[in-house]
């Protein structure tokens, strides 16, 4: 069994693809630097991430398949599911080895699995867009904590930078402990030194702008006014508004 070790980054994965073709040796297992070797591991190769090599692989992929397929591959990577890197490696290898595009061959289990996972991540992206609720902080930055099942936050940036281009905002993934800050020009990745206070999904009142709590109370009043008690359907509500988002929604507090 051939084993490749890499740094578990997307560039690292593409570098592994490049080196597999260069060495004419294709791994059956992809491991991080610290994972133990399988029982019957034979040859082991350590991959050093090289953006030059990964860039060549990505450029070749874009020539070989439609942009939608490359987007699907990125969605699968952001799923963070166990074994998704090996799935992507097999998919990329089949793409390069085939004389024409394999994207529509759903008789292949790997192709079907890539499409299924990409659809799940895309759905999570839409849910983030639907259920993000900004809170105005005292420094006039609009803040929104999130905790998606998949690492879909990067996929929402085009929407938020376009929709909220005139205000500074920070969307922070409290599960993965990173976020993006938009300064009216670009959105940059950031991490907070002390993000434990964000686990509740709400800013402390002392950190809010003076009028933020008022607007939240007005929004709750509006939400209650629209509610028809006789037609409340909790099961349907949970279906369209998953419970895991509720702690981030002022109207559900």
Whether 35 and 93 share a structural domain: yes
Whether residue 229 has pLDDT greater than 70: yes
| pLDDT one-digit tens code per residue, 26-44 | 999 999 988 888 877 778 8
At 17, is the pLDDT very low, low, confident or very high (cuts 50, 70, 90)? Answer: very high
Whether 194 and 234 share a structural domain: yes
Residue closest to 119 by CA, chosen among 75, 156, 68: 75
Q: What is the dihedral of CA 184, 186, 192, 196, to 10 degrees?
A: 70
Whether 169 and 109 share a structural domain: no
Whether residue 194 has pLDDT greater than 80: no
Whether 32 and 145 share a structural domain: no
Whether 60 and 137 share a structural domain: no
Whether 235 and 158 share a structural domain: yes
Whether 143 and 234 share a structural domain: yes
Q: Which residue among 108, 124, 140 closes a domain?
A: 124
Whether 96 and 193 share a structural domain: no
| pLDDT one-digit tens code per residue, 150-188 | 999 999 999 999 999 999 999 999 999 999 999 999 999
In angstroms, the CA 128 to CA 245 distance is 9
Domain range holding 175? 132-252
User: So what's the pLDDT on residue 37?
Assistant: 84
Which residues have CB under 8 Å from 71's CB, separation 6+?
118
Q: Please tell me the pTM assigned to this model.
A: 0.86
Whether 48 and 156 share a structural domain: no
Q: Which residue among 124, 159, 190 closes a domain?
A: 124
Whether residue 208 has pLDDT greater than 80: no
Whether 119 and 136 share a structural domain: no
H helices of 65-193, where? 67-79, 84-97, 109-131, 157-163
Residue closest to 18 by CA, chosen among 86, 135, 74, 96: 96
In angstroms, the CA 12 to CA 106 distance is 28
Whether 142 and 95 share a structural domain: no
| pLDDT one-digit tens code per residue, 80-134 | 999 999 999 999 999 999 988 888 888 899 999 999 999 999 999 999 999 999 9
Counting the structural domains of the chain, the total is 2
| pLDDT one-digit tens code per residue, 65-84 | 999 999 999 999 999 999 99
Can you give the C-alpha Rg of the chain in angstroms? 22
Whether 69 and 107 share a structural domain: yes
User: So what's the pLDDT on residue 7?
Assistant: 96
Q: Do 171 and 142 touch, CB atoms closer than 8 A?
A: no
- 180, exposed or middle or buried, with CB in 10 Å at 0-12, 13-18, 19+? buried
Which residues have CB under 8 Å from 159's CB, separation 6+?
129
Q: Which residue among 124, 140, 165 closes a domain?
A: 124
Terminal Cα-to-Cα distance of the chain (whole angstroms): 53
Q: What is the mean pLDDT of the chain?
A: 90
At 144, is the pLDDT very low, low, confident or very high (cuts 50, 70, 90)? Answer: very high
In angstroms, the CA 224 to CA 220 distance is 6
Question: 7-16, 80-89, 244-253: which has the minimum mean pLDDT?
Answer: 244-253
Q: Do 145 and 169 touch, CB atoms closer than 8 A?
A: no
User: So what's the pLDDT on residue 206?
Assistant: 67
């Amino acid at each position: 069994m051939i084993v490749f070790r890499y740094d578990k980054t997307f560039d690292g994965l593409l570098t592994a693809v490049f080196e597999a073709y260069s060495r004419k040796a294709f791994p059956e297992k992809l491991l991080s630097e610290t994972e133990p070797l399988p029982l019957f591991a034979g040859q082991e190769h350590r991959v050093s991430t090289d953006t030059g090599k990964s860039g060549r692989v990505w450029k070749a992929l874009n020539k070989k398949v439609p942009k939608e397929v490359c987007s699907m591959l990125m969605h699968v990577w952001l799923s963070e599911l166990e074994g998704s890197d090996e799935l992507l490696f097999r998919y990329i290898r089949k793409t390069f080895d085939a004389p024409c595009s394999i994207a529509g061959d759903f008789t292949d289990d790997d192709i079907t699995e890539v499409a299924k996972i990409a659809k799940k991540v895309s759905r999570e992206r839409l849910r983030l867009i639907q259920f993000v609720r900004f809170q105005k902080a005292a420094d006039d930055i609009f803040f929104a904590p999130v905790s998606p099942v998949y690492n879909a936050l990067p996929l929402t940036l085009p929407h938020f930078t376009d929709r909220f281009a005139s205000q500074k905002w920070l969307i922070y993934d409290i599960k993965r402990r990173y976020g993006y800050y938009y300064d009216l020009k670009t959105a940059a990745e950031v991490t907070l030194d002390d993000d434990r206070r964000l686990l509740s999904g709400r800013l402390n009142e002392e950190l809010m702008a003076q009028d933020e709590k008022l607007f939240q109370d007005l929004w709750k009043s509006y939400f209650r006014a629209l509610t028809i008690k006789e037609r409340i359907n909790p099961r349907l509500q949970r279906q369209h508004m998953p419970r895991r988002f509720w702690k981030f929604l002022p109207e559900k507090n």
